[in-house]
Amino acid sequence: MVALTDDEKAMLAGARGEPRRLAMEHLVQVAGFFDAEDLVEVSQVHIMADSEALGEAGVAFLERLAAAPDAERKVVVPTITDPRGTDFKAYERLRQDRSFVELERRMITAFEALGVLMTDTCINYQTIMPPVLGEHLAFGDTGSVIYANSVLGARSNFEGGPSALAAALTGRAARYGLHLDAHRRGTCRFRLETRPKALNDWGAAGALVGRAMSSYWEVPVIEGVEGAPTSDELKHFGAALASFGSTPMFHMVGVTPEASDLPGLFDGSPPPATPIGQTEIAALHAAYVPSDDRLDVVVFAAPQLSLMELRALAGLLDGRRVHAETTLIAATSPELKSAADRMGLTARMESSGAILLEGVCFYQMHAREIGQANGWQRLMSNSAKLVNIIGGYGYEPVLASMARCVDSAVAGRVLP
Partner 1 sequence: MNGRVLRGHAGIGPKVTGTALVAQDNFSARYDLDLTEGRFSRPDHALFGESYVGRVLVLNAAKGGVATAWMLRAMSESGLAPLALLLNFANPIMAQGAAFAGLPLIDRFETDITAALRTGDQVALDPAAGTVTVVPGS
Asked whether position 33 contacts partner 1 by CB under 8 A, the answer is yes
Count residues contacting partner 1 (CB under 8 A)?
Answer: 45
Identify residues 347-376 at the interface with partner 1 (CB under 8 A).
363-364, 368
Closest to 148 in 3D by CA, of 173, 114, 166, 117: 173
Q: Which range touches partner 1 (CB under 8 A), out of 56-64, 230-238, 319-327, 346-354?
A: 56-64
127-166: contacts with partner 1 (CB under 8 A):
140-142, 157-163
Q: Which of 17, 196, 245, 359 binds partner 1 (CB under 8 A)?
A: 245
The answer to whether residues 103 and 51 touch, using CB atoms and an 8 Å cutoff, is yes
Query: Using CA atoms, how far apart are residues 207 and 239, in angstroms rounded to an integer?
Result: 9
Nearest distance in Å: CB 25, partner 1 = 9
Among 5, 13, 55, 117, binds partner 1 (CB under 8 A): 55
Preceding peptide of 275 cis, ω within 30° = no
- DSSP readout, 7-57? HHHHHHTTTT-HHHHHHHHHHHHHHHHTT-SBEEE-S-EEE---HHHHHHH
Torsions phi, psi for 57 (to 5 deg): -65, -45
DSSP strand pairing (297-305 vs 378-381): parallel
Q: Which of 71, 143, 91, 83 is nearest to 118 (CA)?
A: 83
Least distance to partner 1, CB of residue 77, Å:
18
- The DSSP code for 149 is H
Instruction: Find the shortest distance in angstroms from Cβ 243 to partner 1.
Output: 7
Comparing CB distances to partner 1, the nearer of 332 and 388 is: 388
- Name the one range near partner 1 by CB under 8 A: 29-37, 255-263, 265-273, 348-356: 29-37
Window 372-411: residues binding partner 1 (CB under 8 A): 388-389, 391-394
CB of 32 to partner 1, least distance (A): 7
CA-wise closest residue to 87 among 330, 285, 395, 322: 330
Gap between the Cα atoms of 305 and 296, Å rounded: 21
Does 57 contact partner 1 by CB under 8 A? Answer: yes
Contacts of 127 (CB under 8 A, 6+ apart): 121, 306, 333, 335, 336
Question: What is the distance, to the nearest Å, from the Cα of residue 402 to the centroid of all Cα atoms in its chain?
Answer: 19
Q: Would you say 1 or 324 has its CB closer to partner 1?
A: 1
Which of 12, 48, 137, 249 is in the footprint of partner 1 by CB under 8 A?
A: 48
Report residue 84: phi and psi, to 5°: -90, -175
- CB closer to partner 1, 56 vs 350: 56
360 secondary structure, DSSP code: B
Q: Which stretch binds partner 1 (CB under 8 A): 226-234, 240-248, 251-259, 305-313?
A: 240-248
Contact call for residues 128 and 406 (beta carbons, < 8 A) = no
195/294 with CB nearer partner 1: 294
* 73 lies in the site for partner 1, by CB under 8 A: no
Of 217 and 341, CB closest to partner 1? 217
CA atoms within 13 A on the CB side of 182: 4
Task: Please identify which residue in 19, 131, 171, 177 interacts with partner 1, judged by CB under 8 A.
Answer: 177
- If the CB atoms of residues 250 and 349 are measured against partner 1, the closer one turns out to be 250
Does residue 14 bind partner 1 (CB under 8 A)? no
**Comparing C-alpha atoms, which of 101, 136, 141, 103 is closest to residue 121?**
141
- Which residue among 11, 21, 50, 332 contacts partner 1 (CB under 8 A)? 50
Residue among 57 and 324 whose Cβ is closer to partner 1: 57
Is residue 79 a contact residue for partner 1 (CB under 8 A)? Answer: no
Binding site for partner 1 (CB under 8 A): 26, 29-30, 32-34, 48, 50, 52-58, 61, 82, 140-142, 157-163, 177, 214-217, 242-243, 245-246, 363-364, 368, 388-389, 391-394
